[in-house]
Amino acid sequence: MYRTSGLLAALLVTFSAPSVFAQSDPWDGLARTTFDITAATLRIPCAVLKDGTGMAIPGFAPAFALNLELTGDALRLVDPIKAFEEIPESCLDTLVVDGNIAIYSTESAESDSSAAENTNRFYTIELQATIPPDGPINFAVLTADDRLYIRPTFEGSNFELRAGIGPYPREFVYDDVLVDEALRLMLLGITVFEAGNLKIRCDFDDPQALLEVVGSVGDNTQYRIKSSLTAADNNKIFSIICTAFNRDINRLELNVPSVEWTITLP
């Protein structure tokens, strides 16, 4: 049964304070939890709030952006704090409140230092707080482990083709058959060094608007090069670009122009 413990009451007072929303945004541009060396503060752009069974806690926002300032050997919860009405897709971390215990965990923290030894170094952190009804919320470090992250690489072929002449004449239809083939080649050519939630997708990229829609079958949109194009448009390019995005650290890892077509008209 849900009970409003002393910790929950303290969190509710902290999270619902009007001043929370009147201050600057220290999480602007942060993709993941980052230790601000200058301010000695752990900036948490989003942590999902759950109870001990993994369920949402009634009366609380589902997620919060938090500041934990290093004070002595503890991390103290300080303003500003931001509540989210809905859990953002980019929310990576968790704050579990169970009775009078709060545990924060992340697998994607990093340091804001530009030192070479910190490049691609990520931290798994678990913090715990036991808080009285009144007074500051201080987290102690339970575990903190670092790892050197190796980015995925792509060693496949990139294809350069001609649009307007065979086998891609003016009437050729470009659709998901080509996208699916690009994805297949992307999967064959990518090497992933760290297990995780890597999202790979391919799609047409046409910044110069060289293609026009000629039909669709379900979600499959079909294109041709525009009938208005002439030899004056030769050497303009459209392509299929495949991307690999690591959801575990909110980072675009690869952006591969798998196939490029150059306009070639008589």
Q: Which of 148, 179, 208 represents a domain boundary (last residue)?
A: 148
Tell me, yes or no, whether 34 and 138 share the same domain: yes
Residue 13 has pLDDT above 60, yes or no: no
Strands (E), 39-86: 41-51, 63-71, 74-84
pLDDT digits (tens, 9 = 90+) for 218-261: 889 999 999 999 999 999 999 999 999 999 999 999 999 999 99
Contact between 46 and 93 (Cβ < 8 Å): yes
Tell me, yes or no, whether 113 and 184 share the same domain: no
Contact between 245 and 253 (Cβ < 8 Å): yes
Q: Which of 148, 171, 186 represents a domain boundary (last residue)?
A: 148
Residue 24: pLDDT band with limits 50, 70, 90: low
Residue 135: pLDDT band with limits 50, 70, 90: confident
Count: domains in the chain: 2
Residue 100: pLDDT band with limits 50, 70, 90: confident
The answer to whether residue 1 is domain-embedded is no
| Between 107 and 22, residue with greater pLDDT | 107
Tell me, yes or no, whether 181 and 160 share the same domain: yes
Tell me, yes or no, whether 112 and 163 share the same domain: no
Tell me, yes or no, whether 205 and 165 share the same domain: yes
Residue 156, pLDDT score: 87
Strands (E), the chain: 34-36, 41-51, 63-71, 74-84, 93-98, 101-111, 121-130, 138-148, 153-154, 159-163, 190-191, 198-205, 211-217, 220-225, 237-246, 251-263
Q: Which of 148, 168, 189 represents a domain boundary (last residue)?
A: 148
